[in-house]
């Protein structure tokens, strides 16, 4: 197995580009041809780090990306000197591993084309070494500090903060993986659902998961299946880099590893697994895929909390069938009562969910709601398990 330091590789890439420019005159090189530039812009657009930048800045950054070839069974090692680069996988497949100063492997990730290879930030680069192993012939796209500064200009600080946050999430993930051990008994599943959007389901699911994580640090997972737009990672101030939908593209052998890699971990000890990152991926969340995910995650967590939002699609139904507790969130509004009655009828009469597995939570989002607890209990014919009062 060969290994080389990344600064040397970057220098060779620049020299190769200079030769291309000299040979090609003033016309665009193949590396900067429109199709190559568009591909790089697309990779940047899909990244959580660069997605909010405008097209002009993305184009400037894309022009400064440099290709680095990594042959199968070759390894790139990024030490402290290479800690200031951003790297994407353009094609092929690589395995990234992060080691501490003693050589202990803290984390391994399998990267697919388009993925950002999360690297140690400069403030910690002397304490960690990242190795990138080519599983097949691959091409990486790199950005060094100068390229970032030239391409981003005043946006550099914002991107640097995001890269810092991603690296902190990687360290938190490493601690979580070390704390998790396989269990003979599967973790219970707690599902949060509301028949009406905006009822506060995501907020309650996140707060519940965070509270449980204080009791079971790094062993509580929140799965975000709210469709088409899940906001659990955003509400938890995390940067989502993968999802169930993206993990579904992995091979059967790699599925569990990729799924674990797509969990983003909060410093409080709670993990968040997005169902999708883009609304067009919602159709990939089938009942069969959701069942596979639950089969995997219940083995190394203490509690699984699932935010279903208002979804009663395949994925939501698969979760409800397995949930030990279904929390139905109700806003004290007249319009929500009809939908709530219909949903409860579906759970009870069609899905055969017993009453003792359903908990009704009244979430008072305003100081003077149109319906009080007694009126809602009378309409639904059920007692509220919990009332969350308005907090100004």
**CATH code given to domain 182-388:** 3.40.50.300
Q: Pinpoint the residues of the chain covered by CATH 2.60.120.10.
A: 2-174
The class level of CATH for 2-174 reads mainly beta
d(C-alpha 233, C-alpha 36), whole Å: 32
d(C-alpha 221, C-alpha 270), whole Å: 6
pLDDT at 380 over 90: yes
With bands split at pLDDT 50, 70 and 90, how would you rate the model's confidence at 106? Answer: confident
pLDDT digits (tens, 9 = 90+) for 43-92: 999 898 998 899 999 999 999 999 999 999 999 887 655 545 789 999 99
Residue 118 vs residue 181, higher pLDDT: 118
Q: Name the nearest CA neighbour of 170 among 131, 117, 231.
A: 117
State percent of the chain over pLDDT 70: 88
pLDDT digits (tens, 9 = 90+) for 176-220: 877 776 665 689 999 999 998 889 999 999 999 999 999 999 999
Instruction: Look at residue 184 in the predicted model and tell me its pLDDT.
Output: 58
Query: Given CA atoms 19, 20, 21, 22 in this order, what sign does their dihedral have?
Result: positive
> Angle at CA 157, nearest 5°, toward 153 and 159?
90
With bands split at pLDDT 50, 70 and 90, how would you rate the model's confidence at 14? Answer: very low
Q: Pinpoint the residues of the chain covered by CATH 3.40.50.300.
A: 182-388
Residues 75, 3 contacting (CB under 8 angstroms): yes
DSSP states along 360-385: EEEE--SSS-SS-HHHHHHHHTS--S
Instruction: Look at residue 7 in the predicted model and tell me its pLDDT.
Output: 46
CB atoms within 10 A of CB 392: 4
Instruction: Look at residue 15 in the predicted model and tell me its pLDDT.
Output: 46
CB atoms within 10 A of CB 9: 19
pLDDT at 297 over 80: yes
Residues 272, 169 contacting (CB under 8 angstroms): no
Mean pLDDT for all residues in the chain: 86
pLDDT at 19 over 70: no
Residue with tokens 């609304």: 279
């Amino acid at each position: 197995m060969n290994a080389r330091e990344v600064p040397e590789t970057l220098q060779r890439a620049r020299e190769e580009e200079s030769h291309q420019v000299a040979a090609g005159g003033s016309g665009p090189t193949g590396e900067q041809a429109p199709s190559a530039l568009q591909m790089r812009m697309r990779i940047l657009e899909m990244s959580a780090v660069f997605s909010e930048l405008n097209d002009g800045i993305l184009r400037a950054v894309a022009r400064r990306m440099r290709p680095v070839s990594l042959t199968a069974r070759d390894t790139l090692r990024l030490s402290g000197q290479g800690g200031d680069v951003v790297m994407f996988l353009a094609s092929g497949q690589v395995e990234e591993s992060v080691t501490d100063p003693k050589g202990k492997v803290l984390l391994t990730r399998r990267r697919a084309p388009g993925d950002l290879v999360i690297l140690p930030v400069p403030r910690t680069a002397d304490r960690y070494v990242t190795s990138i192993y080519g599983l097949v012939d691959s091409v990486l796209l790199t950005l060094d500090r100068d390229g970032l500064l030239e391409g981003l200009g005043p946006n550099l600080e914002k991107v640097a903060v995001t890269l810092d946050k991603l690296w902190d999430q990687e360290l938190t993930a490493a601690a979580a993986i070390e704390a998790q051990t396989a269990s003979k008994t599967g973790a219970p599943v707690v599902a949060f659902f509301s028949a009406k959007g905006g009822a506060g389901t995501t907020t309650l699911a996140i707060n519940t998961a965070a509270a449980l994580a204080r009791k079971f640090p790094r062993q509580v997972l929140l799965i975000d299946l709210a469709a088409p737009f899940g906001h659990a990672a955003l509400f938890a101030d995390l940067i989502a880099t993968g999802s169930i939908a993206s993990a579904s593209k992995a091979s059967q052998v790699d599925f569990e590893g990729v799924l674990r890699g797509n969990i983003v971990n909060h410093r409080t000890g709670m993990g968040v697994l997005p169902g999708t990152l883009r609304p067009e991926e919602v159709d990939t969340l089938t009942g069969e895929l959701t069942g596979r995910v639950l089969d995997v995650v219940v083995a190394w967590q203490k509690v699984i909390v699932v935010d279903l939002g208002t979804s009663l699609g395949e994925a939501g139904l698969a979760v409800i069938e397995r949930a030990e507790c279904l929390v139905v969130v109700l806003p004290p509004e007249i319009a929500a009562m009809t939908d709530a009655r219909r949903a409860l009828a579906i759970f009870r009469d069609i899905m055969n969910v017993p009453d003792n597995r359903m908990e009704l939570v009244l979430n008072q989002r305003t100081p003077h709601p149109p319906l009080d607890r007694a009126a809602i209990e009378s309409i639904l014919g059920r007692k509220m398990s919990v009332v969350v009062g308005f907090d100004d």
